[in-house]
């Protein structure tokens, strides 16, 4: 019952990452993970009442709207000020509309402030940006920990090391653009821009629709239970320091056979510069599926990397189904890649059955 225990603790698994000087170096710490999982399961009965599962609209069947505008023509000039104005325990959909501009700030939506719709004016027009780096638990430009959250047409950027070649491994550090902790979260036409660890998909059920996600190393990572539909994945591994052979698109952290987490890519594209693996294992039961995705030549021929879980390859669920493009050639894939799924097995990873069993996506304010 992931929706119960994942919504109970505000920041249950913010494990720092160590510096990743080379593509095969271990940049994360796992020692606290078993304790955290046990704690979450034990704690679930005591905090179930704290979760907000539904959000209401006002009498006009609309959301209350707060305007953020840098020129002072709105209610607030900073995004965080608008978030702070939402009352704790909010159960009414509240729209925070952010007018065009580059907002240089770190924004956090804490647990206890659900039912927020954060809306920009276009992912190339409204950008929240920062340059925090070194520690994943403190570098994120944008963090959302509460349930029932929607973002539309807005970009989240960590500008550290983004857009230019990294000359030295001593200048290469984790830099998170967005950390996503809550359950029932949807991102529509959003951008996540960074270099390493761009999107920390920590936990909970998440839906990414027509998003742009960019990075070089582990730039979609964590233990979320997420569907990426019609998303453009832009690899920038060609900017890695000399001697770093390849990047990694995903680092999924499923911990057991009963862990519901996994990353499912439906349609969309994988393109960019350099070379990157479709994923490397961030847990002994790591699970990533590409279905109907166009894979360009940027995909490494081997496809997948076991990282430090070489003894667990039989547990991985790494699948490519009906993919096309030059990167979809599987003749040189690792021998332990999951070869196929039956129709019924594949259906279990549809949006409706994998994350939307209770219809929460359709119930959110569009």
Catalytic residue numbers, as ranges: 197, 218
Phi/psi of residue 171, nearest 5 degrees: -105, 10
* Residues contacting residue 154 through CB under 8 Å, at least 6 positions apart: 98, 118, 119, 120, 123, 126, 127, 128, 190, 191
What ranges make up the beta strands (E) of 121-268? 126-130, 142-144, 149-152, 155-158, 178-180, 185-188, 191-193, 199-201, 205-209, 212-215, 217-222, 225-229, 232-236, 247-252, 262-266
Two structure tokens written together for 306: 């076991």
Phi/psi of residue 53, nearest 5 degrees: -95, -20
| DSSP per position, 69-80 | -TTS-SSBSSHH
Nearest to 121 by CA among 52, 195, 49, 69: 69
* Residues contacting residue 108 through CB under 8 Å, at least 6 positions apart: 80, 83, 142, 143, 144, 145
Distance CA 274, CA 241 (A): 11
Distance CA 111, CA 99 (A): 25
Distance CA 222, CA 216 (A): 16
Residues in the chain, overall count: 366
Distance CA 98, CA 145 (A): 20
CA angle 134, 136, 140 (to 5 degrees): 100
């Amino acid at each position: 019952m992931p929706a119960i225990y994942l919504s109970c603790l505000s920041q249950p698994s913010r494990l720092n990452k160590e510096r990743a000087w080379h593509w095969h170096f271990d940049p994360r710490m796992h020692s606290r993970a078993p304790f955290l999982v046990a704690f979450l399961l034990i704690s679930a009965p005591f905090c179930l009442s704290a979760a907000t599962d539904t959000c209401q609209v006002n009498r006009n069947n609309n959301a209350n709207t707060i305007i953020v505008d840098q020129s002072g023509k709105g209610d607030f000039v900073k995004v965080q000020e608008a978030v702070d104005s939402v009352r704790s325990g909010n159960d009414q959909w509240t729209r925070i509309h952010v007018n065009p501009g580059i907002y240089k700030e770190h924004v956090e939506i804490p647990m206890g402030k659900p039912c927020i719709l954060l809306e920009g004016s276009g992912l190339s027009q409204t950008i929240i940006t920062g340059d925090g780096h070194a520690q994943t638990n403190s570098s994120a430009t944008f963090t959302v920990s509460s349930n029932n959250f929607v973002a539309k047409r807005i970009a989240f950027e960590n500008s550290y090391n983004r857009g230019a070649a990294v000359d030295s491994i001593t200048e290469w550090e984790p830099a998170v653009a967005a950390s996503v902790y809550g359950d029932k979260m949807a991102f529509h036409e959003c951008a996540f821009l960074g270099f390493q660890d761009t999107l920390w998909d920590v936990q909970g059920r998440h839906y990414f629709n027509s998003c742009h996600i960019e990075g070089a190393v582990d730039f979609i990572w964590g233990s979320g239970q997420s569907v990426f539909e019609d998303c453009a994945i832009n690899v920038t591994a060609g900017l890695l320091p000399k001697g770093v052979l390849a990047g990694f698109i995903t680092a999924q952290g499923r911990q057991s056979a009963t862990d519901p987490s996994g990353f499912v890519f439906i349609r969309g594209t994988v393109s960019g510069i350099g070379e990157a693996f479709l994923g490397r294992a961030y847990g002994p039961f790591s699970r990533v599926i590409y279905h109907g995705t166009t894979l360009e030549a940027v995909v490494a021929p081997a496809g997948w990397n076991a990282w430090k879980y070489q003894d667990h390859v039989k547990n991985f669920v790494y699948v490519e189904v009906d993919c096309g493009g030059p990167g979809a050639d599987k003749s040189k894939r690792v021998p332990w890649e999951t070869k196929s799924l039956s129709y019924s097995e594949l259906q279990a990873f549809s949006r409706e059955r994998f994350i939307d069993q209770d219809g929460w996506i359709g119930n959110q304010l569009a």
